[in-house]
Amino acid sequence: MSTTKYIFVTGGVASSLGKGIISASLAKLLQARGFKVTIQKLDPYLNVDPGTLNPYEHGECYVTDDGAETDLDLGHYERFLGVPTSQANNVTTGRIYQSVIDKERRGDFLGKTVQIIPHITDEIKRRVKILGKQGQYDFVITEIGGTVGDIESLPYIESVRQLRYELGTQNSLVVHLTLVPYLNASGELKTKPTQHSVKVLLENGVQPDILVLRTEHELSDDIKRKVALFCNVANDSVIQSIDVSTIYEVPLKMQEQKLDEVALQKLGIQVKKDVKIKPWKDFVQKVKNPQKRVKIGLVGKYVELPDAYKSIAEAFVHAGAVNSVKVDLEYIHSEELTADTVTDKLKDLKGVLVAPGFGSRGISGKLEAVKFARENNIPFLGICLGMQCAVIEFARNVLNYSDANSVEMSRTTTKPVIDLMEEQKGVTEMGGTMRLGSYPCEIQKNSYAYDAYGVVNIDERHRHRYEFNNKFINQFAEGGMKSTGINPDTGLVEIVEIPSHKWFVGVQFHPEYKSTVLNPHPLFVAFVRAAAEE
Ligand code: GLN
């Protein structure tokens, strides 16, 4: 396609309606028609990135290849499209203001008063258009975080208004997602909140082209026509998004109602018949019809909010489908695990995953979980802090280093088996200062990791400050825990395994970030296979 087309996805009525999934679904359908698509998220909060946010606030922090700490919606984008995202795909108000203020300090505005309009909106528009300028995409889909009417969202909606004017209606499109609530008492579906939400958009100068209505019940044609009439959109442009059992069914539901075709027609693009969606359909079939179930425990301290482990949960869906099993993921609070409770809480599990995390809260419970899995030959996967816990547990209980610890938990340990990296020692700022993004790893043949990946050289994403301390590498190997993956450039240990165990793997990196629907992550696939084996 000669010019890049821009699609904006806004939301109204309530948050958490699934704008990210709708954006990713539309992107998937366009991709299935042979178009090149990328998705971007604009977040209205003032943090420069979500890296400094507690997972309880916005859920998991997702990390891209280029080391950007981003919103978890980028995880959905990658899982749906199978195309890597980057720093440019997630922009926050904090980052926008930071660049504008940096420019002001440099004197770039030549004495002018710096204002939200035009300076902040110009910066927002620049960030949207950067992706289109790269020339590699037919479509840039931009999801605007928050809900219309929020004070924080205003500059973004104003930027959408200006962009529509500048780009023209043939090159841009607005999809607005709202909620149609069901009133149990009267048995009615209510469209008024949607009408109000569209009015707010109109007050801000933006007329949506397509409305996607989130609902728990089927919307009749009458209701859709009513919404179309009151909101100034064509009848075929009111699309229902009904609750489904798996988010991966949403693209298929959207396709049934021709969301992609309506979007293409509005953008003046010829709608061809050829849609390559079969592998996706096969995947959804497998997710919905598992041949058996397997219970795996996820031990972490943020389990009250499952979004804190979004990518891990999704990686299990992908890996389950390949193995024709459904993984019943049981979230287990690490603070509830003690020597007394651990057996009771973990005895029914076929696999144990100890999750990533920061700080000492909940560590003793994680160590109990590792010990239980190790001693009872239960397949085990430790990710990042989970791998570090596996190392500490092994040092304490097998090598008999009773004082072994990570320097993160104890500055004074005499056996710092997990230590601060040299280059981290002088760092005092928290934001963006960890080992972040993609690093190479060389895998030793004759290991669980090699069996899973089937190749020697891999790249995986990182987000941590502490590392396995190589001073102890020989003691661990002699004791029965081997380093089977090493960073070829730095010698840092990236994978540890216990070869005498059924399946025991700890990884310093985050495999979950790279698992996608059509490319499930090999370590998760192997872990689920081991857990499902009788
Ligand atoms: N807190 C550990 C570190 O910084 C692990 C981080 C993580 O699990 N992502 O090294």
Q: Which of 62-71, 75-84, 428-437 has the lowest mean pLDDT?
A: 428-437
- Closest C-alpha to 228, from 255, 198, 264: 198
Tokens of 14: 């309530």
What is the DSSP secondary-structure string of 203-265? HTT---SEEEEEESSPPPHHHHHHHHHHHT--GGGEEEEE--SSGGGHHHHHHHTTHHHHHHH
Report d(CA 69, CA 61) in Å as an integer. Answer: 6
The neighbour count for residue 246, using CB atoms within 10 Å, is: 12
Nearest ligand 1 atom to the CA of 355 is 8
For a substitution probing ligand 1, which of 381, 408, 435 has the most ligand atoms within 8 Å of its CB?
A: 408
Chain-centroid distance, C-alpha 379? 25
| pLDDT for the residue numbered 134 | 78
The pLDDT of residue 431 is above 80? no
Residue 534 pLDDT = 76
Q: CA–CA distance from 1 to each of 36, 267, 268 (Å)? A: 9, 12, 12
Average pLDDT on 82-105 reads 96
CA distance 247 to 243: 9
Report which of 35, 42, 33 is spatially closest to residue 273, judged by C-alpha positions.
Answer: 33
What are the tens digits of pLDDT across the range 322-343? 999 999 999 999 999 999 999 9
Active site residues: 384, 510, 512
- State the pLDDT confidence band at 434, using cuts at 50, 70 and 90: confident
CA pair distance 170, 475, nearest whole angstrom? 66
State whether the beta carbon of 358 lies less than 6 angstroms from ligand 1. yes
Average pLDDT over residues 179-207: 96
- Positive or negative torsion for Cα 87, 313, 455, 489: positive
Residue 313 CA to ligand 1 centre (angstroms): 19
Tens digit of pLDDT for each residue in 106-126? 999 999 999 999 999 999 999
Ligand 1 closest atom vs CA 384: 8
Per-residue pLDDT tens over the stretch 342-357: 999 999 999 999 999 9
Question: 464 CB less than 6 Å from ligand 1?
Answer: yes
Average confidence score pLDDT of the chain: 95
If you compute the radius of gyration of the chain from its CA atoms, what whole number of angstroms results?
A: 25
Q: Is 55 in the pocket of ligand 1 (CB under 6 A)?
A: no
Q: What is the pLDDT of residues 380-401, one digit of tens each?
A: 999 999 999 999 999 999 999 9
Q: CA 63 to CA 58: how far, in whole Å?
A: 14
DSSP-derived pairing of the beta strands 493-497 and 504-507:
antiparallel
| 251-276 average pLDDT score | 95
Residue 13 or 405, more confident: 405
Q: How far apart are CA 404 and CA 478, in angstroms?
A: 17
Contacts of residue 220, defined as CB under 8 A and 6 or more positions apart, other chains included, come to none
Lowest mean pLDDT among 138-142, 403-407, 427-431: 427-431
* Interatomic CA distance for residues 221 and 497, integer angstroms: 58
Burial class (CB in 10 A: 0-12, 13-18, 19+), 275: middle
Ligand 1 center to 385 CA (angstroms): 5
Is 356 close to ligand 1, i.e. is its CB under 6 Å away? yes
Distance CA 92, CA 71 (A): 10
Atom index in ligand 1 nearest the CA of residue 418 equals: 10
pLDDT of residue 2: 67
- CB of residue 357 inside a 6 A radius of ligand 1: yes
Model pLDDT for residues 149-181, shown as the tens digit of each residue: 999 999 999 999 999 999 999 999 999 999 999
Phi/psi for 255 (5° steps) reads -65, -40
Determine whether the shortest distance from the Cβ of 355 to ligand 1 is under 6 A: no
* Ligand 1 close to Cβ of residue 384 (< 6 A): yes
**Position in ligand 1 atom list of the atom nearest CA 510:** 9
Question: How many A from CA of 408 to the centre of ligand 1?
Answer: 9
Cα of 208 to ligand 1 centre, how many Å?
43
Contact between 325 and 296 (Cβ < 8 Å): no
Residue nearest to atom 6 of ligand 1 (CA): 464
Atom of ligand 1 nearest to the CA of 383: 8
Q: Given this model, what pLDDT does residue 423 score?
A: 72
Question: pLDDT band at residue 460, thresholds of 50, 70 and 90?
Answer: very high
Residue pLDDT, tens place only, 472-503: 999 999 999 999 999 999 999 999 999 999 99
- From 384, 436, 461, 468, the mutation candidate for ligand 1 (largest count of ligand atoms within 8 A of CB) is 384
Residue 432 has a pLDDT of: 67
Q: Say how many Å lie between the CA of residue 390 and the centre of ligand 1.
A: 13
Per-residue pLDDT for 205 more than 90? yes
Residues 6+ apart with CB under 8 A from 95: 48, 49
Distance (Å, rounded) from C-alpha 150 to C-alpha 193?
15
Q: Which of 389, 464, 508, 513 most suits a substitution to test ligand 1, by most atoms within 8 Å of the C-beta?
A: 464
Q: How far apart are CA 90 and CA 142, in angstroms?
A: 10
What DSSP character marks residue 197? H
Three-state secondary structure call for residue 139: strand
Q: Tell me, using a 6 A CB cutoff, whether residue 465 lines ligand 1.
A: yes
Closest ligand 1 atom to residue 467 Cα is: 10
**What tokens appear for 494 in the block?**
């990236």
Query: How much distance in Å is there from the Cα of 59 to the middle of ligand 1?
Result: 16
Answer whether residue 1 shows pLDDT above 70: no
Tell me how far the alpha carbon of residue 511 lies from the centroid of ligand 1, in angstroms: 14
Q: How far apart are the first and last CA of the chain?
A: 52
Query: What residue's CA is closest to ligand 1, atom 1?
Result: 358
